[in-house]
A and B are shown apart, each in its own frame.
Chain A
Amino acid sequence: NSANVKKFTVSEGKHAKFRCFVTGKPKPEIIWKKDGAPLEAGRRHLLFEDREGYYTLKVMYCKHQDTGLYVCAASNALGHTLSSVYLTVKAPAVRFR
């Protein structure tokens, strides 16, 4: 269904913040994925739950390779579900001299 996935665009070099509200009891386990592969916390990927309770993924200093399908997958004993968006990282506009 990638055709009807919401699309967002950010500029190269900027941070992209993904926020997803999740409910469920017991508290679901959250996995962020890019193009099917799980994302781990690291120097360019921050994963946290923000003050308002949104699960947040922050991709720092976006590069062209960060373009792709991002999924927030939630699961607990009762089931699992996910939300997805497509991120495009666009190069900064070329300026003429």
Chain B
Amino acid sequence: EVEGAPGAPLDVKCQDANKDYVIVTWKQPAVDGGSSILGYFVDRCEVGTTHWSQCNDTPIKFARFPVTGLVEGRSYTFRVRAVNKSGMSRPSRVSEVVAAMDPADRARMRGTSAPWTGQIIVTEEEPAEGVVPGRPKELEVTEATKNYVVLSWKPPGERGHEGIMYYVEKCVSGTDSWQRVNTEIPVKSPRFALFDLAEGKAYSFRVRCCNSAGVGEPSEATEATTVGDKLDIPSAPGR
């Protein structure tokens, strides 16, 4: 803290936020440190980072500044520092979070919220021995239309089912390239609907189990199923 520097500016607010600028306003510090305030510096910080960058090169006289150069859709907080001939104040308290977007877009987004991520916590786990689950059983195509295909199967028998999740894989008939379908989040129940298959093409499917110990071997692959509007499955009894 600099001797004779002003107190921190107060009550930093955002007005008229849109995708091109946010007008930041504030109140002058309660104490000027003994000499008059020469101006202010506005800093911005993108939410989710800890990096503050200064928005203006030379001090602003008025307690109001349009901040430009924001990335549309991203959220920011602001703070202000005051300067007199002795030096710079401490930064103000930070403003509320504001998103750089037009009011119409903001209205459309009402009831929604920007993402927030907490601190990542890392823990070490002992590898459990030999509990990678076995192959899923009785995999079959229960529905096949041109818009979707539904698969169902049974969990592997030999082990407990606790914590088992499934990865579904598809393969265009005649090729040998298996592609994982649900890459994001494993399926928890023993059925799955696939969309976005190419009409007229034939596919085989298979499923793998995984648990905290790892990913298991795949199930038997299904017979090739052609994507089209014929509900020829399930097949007749006695197959």
Q: Are B214 and A60 in contact (CB under 8 A)?
A: yes
Q: Are A48 and B123 in contact (CB under 8 A)?
A: no
Q: Are A79 and B120 in contact (CB under 8 A)?
A: no
CB of B107 within 8 Å of the partner chain: no
How far is it, in angstroms, between the C-alpha of A30 and the C-alpha of B186 when the chains are bound?
Answer: 14
Which chain B positions have C-beta within 8 A of A13? Answer: 127
Q: Do A70 and B109 contact each other (CB < 8 Å), given the known contacts A24-B114, A40-B183, A58-B212?
A: no
Q: Is the interface of B mostly helix, strand, loop or mixed?
A: loop
Q: Are A78 and B99 in contact (CB under 8 A)?
A: yes
Q: Do A19 and B183 contact each other (CB < 8 Å), given the known contacts A24-B114, A77-B109, A80-B48?
A: no
Q: Do A22 and B74 contact each other (CB < 8 Å), given the known contacts A43-B215, A79-B99?
A: no
Interface residues of A in 61-97 (CB under 8 A from B): 61, 70, 72-85, 87
How far is it, in angstroms, between the C-alpha of A60 and the C-alpha of B73 when the chains are bound?
Answer: 36
Q: Mark B62-84, 1 if CB is under 8 A from A, else 0.
A: 00000000000111000000000
Which chain B positions have C-beta within 8 A of A80? Answer: 48, 74, 114-115
Q: Are B115 and A48 in contact (CB under 8 A)?
A: no
CB of B146 within 8 Å of the partner chain: no
Report the number of A-B residue pairs with Cβ-Cβ less than 8 Å. 140
Q: Are B115 and A83 in contact (CB under 8 A)?
A: no
Q: Are A81 and B185 in contact (CB under 8 A)?
A: no
Which chain B positions have C-beta within 8 A of A73? Answer: 117
How far is it, in angstroms, between the C-alpha of A74 and the C-alpha of B75 when the chains are bound?
Answer: 13
**Shortest CB distance B171–A (Å):** 18
How far is it, in angstroms, between the C-alpha of A46 and the C-alpha of B167 when the chains are bound?
Answer: 11
Q: Are A18 and B120 in contact (CB under 8 A)?
A: yes
Residue of A nearest to B182 (CB): A41
CB of B239 within 8 Å of the partner chain: no
Contact of B114 among A14, A61, A81, A83 (CB under 8 A): A81
Q: Are A81 and B113 in contact (CB under 8 A)?
A: no
CB of B210 within 8 Å of the partner chain: yes
Q: Are B185 and A17 in contact (CB under 8 A)?
A: no
Which chain A positions have C-beta within 8 A of B180? Answer: 41
Q: Are A17 and B125 in contact (CB under 8 A)?
A: yes
**Shortest CB distance B33–A (Å):** 30
How far is it, in angstroms, between the C-alpha of A20 and the C-alpha of B74 when the chains are bound?
Answer: 21
Q: Do A46 and B212 contact each other (CB < 8 Å), given the known contacts A24-B113, A25-B112, A40-B183?
A: yes
CB of B1 within 8 Å of the partner chain: no
Which chain A positions have C-beta within 8 A of B210? Answer: 46
How far is it, in angstroms, between the C-alpha of A49 and the C-alpha of B124 when the chains are bound?
Answer: 18
Give residues in A with beta carbon < 8 Å to B.
Answer: 1, 4, 6, 8, 10-11, 13-26, 28, 30, 40-43, 46-49, 58, 60-61, 70, 72-85, 87
6 additional contacts (CB under 8 A) given A14-B124, A80-B114: A24-B113, A60-B127, A60-B214, A72-B120, A80-B74, A83-B48
